[in-house]
Chain A
Amino acid sequence: MAKTVFDKEMFLDLVVNFIPLFILLFFIVGYTVYNPFGIDTTFRSLQYALIVTPFIMLTILTYLSAKAIGTSERDAPVYLPGGATVDGAEPVEEHEE
């Protein structure tokens, strides 16, 4: 666990999940600033819970999966996805795409 697996390239890959996170954040802020439906504590808190929960869950899952993928990338040879057990498979070079 010497070097962190979260380097710049990893962050680029994770952008894909930052976008929905950002949209959720946008609505969290938006509903705070603009609230046409009046104050009702129960429903207000439910309203936030319904957006905040997916936000947190998505953050956690993204973190965990990124860590799992990053760690295996660092510690083991990376083959073509689905191609590791092909006869004479060679590890692929670093950059995909």
Chain B
Amino acid sequence: MDEQPGLSDQYRRASPWPLFVALGIPIAEVGILFDVFAVAVAGLLLFCGSVTGMLRESGYAETPWRPLGAFAILLFVVGGTLAFTDVNLVTRGYAIITAGGLLAAAGIGGELFVPKREAV
């Protein structure tokens, strides 16, 4: 954490992430409920990305890549359940899986290609 100073390190009482965690939830909800693909994906990315940012900022995770991967797996499970089981909400499931795929790509890409100290 110390090697990656950002807003939150300089200012003890500020963090840019909560706002976007909070924005991500309704956007994802609206997208999934009304089955609007792009909105659902964007909301999920925003939410998962911001939570990840917060985890890193508060020192629970050293780099963002692992949490992103974890979120991806979670979304795959949920999306898969919606798309491929009796629940049969196929398009919504695909939206969630797509978001998971993008997160997984970011996570794996980051883990492999980003040098350790310049994360974010």
In the complex, is A directly touching B at CB under 8 Å? Answer: no
